[in-house]
Amino acid sequence: MAVSERKHWKHLYEEVISTEICCGCSACIVACPHKVLELQDFDPIQTDPNSPFDNCVHGEEGCSLCAMACLRLDPKVDVIEELIYGRRRQVDEIYGKYFYKTLVRATEKGMLEVGQDGGAVSALLGWALEEGELDGAVVAGPSESVPWLDEPRVVTTKEELLAAAGSRYTYCATPLGLKKAAEKKLKNVAIVGVSCESTAVRNLAAEGIKRWTRPVKLVIGLMCTETFDYDAFVVGKLQGEMGLNLDDIVKINVKGNVIITMRDGREIILPLKHARPTANEWCHHCPDFSAEHADLSCGGLGMEGWTLVMVRTEKGRDFLERGVAAGIVELRDADEEPNALRVLEKLATKQRTRAKPWDPHATAAYPTQQALDAAYEYEAEKAAEKAAAKATKVAEAQALRAK
């Protein structure tokens, strides 16, 4: 492709940001060599006074790193999957390729208490930090000034890691933490992020933008159906409508409903259907529930006190199995929780259809040309049915008026 044809900020803006499929993962900002992008309300924006908001002078001169980095604009899914599991996912591998799935729980009581589910993520990372196998972990940590909002954080000790344990259901652009890890000159880091973030990290590597991903030794993905908009969910719903004091909330979990645990031990249930309207728009375009490009993918899947872990790569397998041998975590057979497996199947299947065949990231949802063609056909049939139903309604209304 000639330089002038290469996609850059202009295309990223037109195809991903203005269409609201951008998930705010920040990979484009991490990749930008001229530091002209920043994240504002989870949208990357141009800060360079020489650039209009929808174009970039450097892009016109041939820089295309932001567009290459983006997992929503022609992502290199073939390369990612070749790199991590040696081949492309098949159509029937609805939650990606993996070696095995297992239930994991931290053996240390303190870890279980602070962990969202089985505390598996924090237990394994805390152990690797203490052993010196990792010199840092890029995670999401609760903001000190804004309750229930997270910020990307680089932790280097088990204590710092524990302070970031648990899940917050607003978005946190953890890949931005890769820049902080580089500033700290860390050489061996793990990164934790929801599905889109684990793919974002892989896409940077697949595109050869290795400066930021070279230190990444492990990608831990969190299964994810949606994140909520901070203003609409935390401020509007929890504080405004439900009258909750945000400082008194100690845990929020999603298990069929949103379960809010208060400092005094009360559990307040918010039906998921009441929270869903506050979900981020970009999640409606996300085809991956199970964090299919992570080394280890983790989810609670409606269980109490255990994390379901999908072991996807040799690295992930080695890491988990050494953690088990060291007595850091214990395992149970995933088949002992058939309900959790049913939830996994259901959510992963449903989420695949969120990306449409014409979306610029369609290859993430439809791994073969045949699957893509079938999706087009299905959408065309749906559109035709809708048009026919509308025409019938109009005809009936006209007939009524004529009587």
Ligand X SMILES: Cc1cc2nc3c(=O)[nH]c(=O)nc-3n(C[C@H](O)[C@H](O)[C@H](O)COP(=O)(O)OP(=O)(O)OC[C@H]3O[C@@H](n4cnc5c(N)ncnc54)[C@H](O)[C@@H]3O)c2cc1C
Positions in 32-91 near ligand SF4 (CB under 6 A): 32, 34, 36-37, 44, 56, 58-59, 63, 65-66, 69-72
**Pick 11 or 72: Cβ nearer ligand X:** 72
**Pick 196 or 260: Cβ nearer ligand SF4:** 196
- Whether 312 and 296 have beta carbons less than 8 Å apart is answered as yes
Stretch that binds ligand SF4, among 150-158, 160-168, 218-226, 329-337 (CB under 6 A): 218-226
Contact pick of 59, 75, 118, 175 for ligand X (by CB under 6 A): 118
Give the number of residues in contact with ligand SF4, rule: CB under 6 A.
Answer: 39
Q: Smallest distance from the beta carbon of 185 to ligand X, in angstroms?
A: 22
Contact pick of 7, 9, 191, 202 for ligand SF4 (by CB under 6 A): 9
116 binds ligand X (CB under 6 A): yes
**Pick 27 or 36: Cβ nearer ligand X:** 27
168 binds ligand SF4 (CB under 6 A): no
Q: Alpha-carbon distance 364 to 350, whole Å?
A: 14
Positions in 215-234 near ligand X (CB under 6 A): 222-225, 227
Q: Which does 192 bind (CB under 5 to 8 A by kind): ligand SF4, ligand X, none?
A: ligand X
**Pick 10 or 276: Cβ nearer ligand X:** 276
Contact pick of 64, 102, 174, 203 for ligand X (by CB under 6 A): 174
Positions in 272-331 near ligand X (CB under 6 A): 298-301, 307
β-pair type (100-106, 307-311): antiparallel
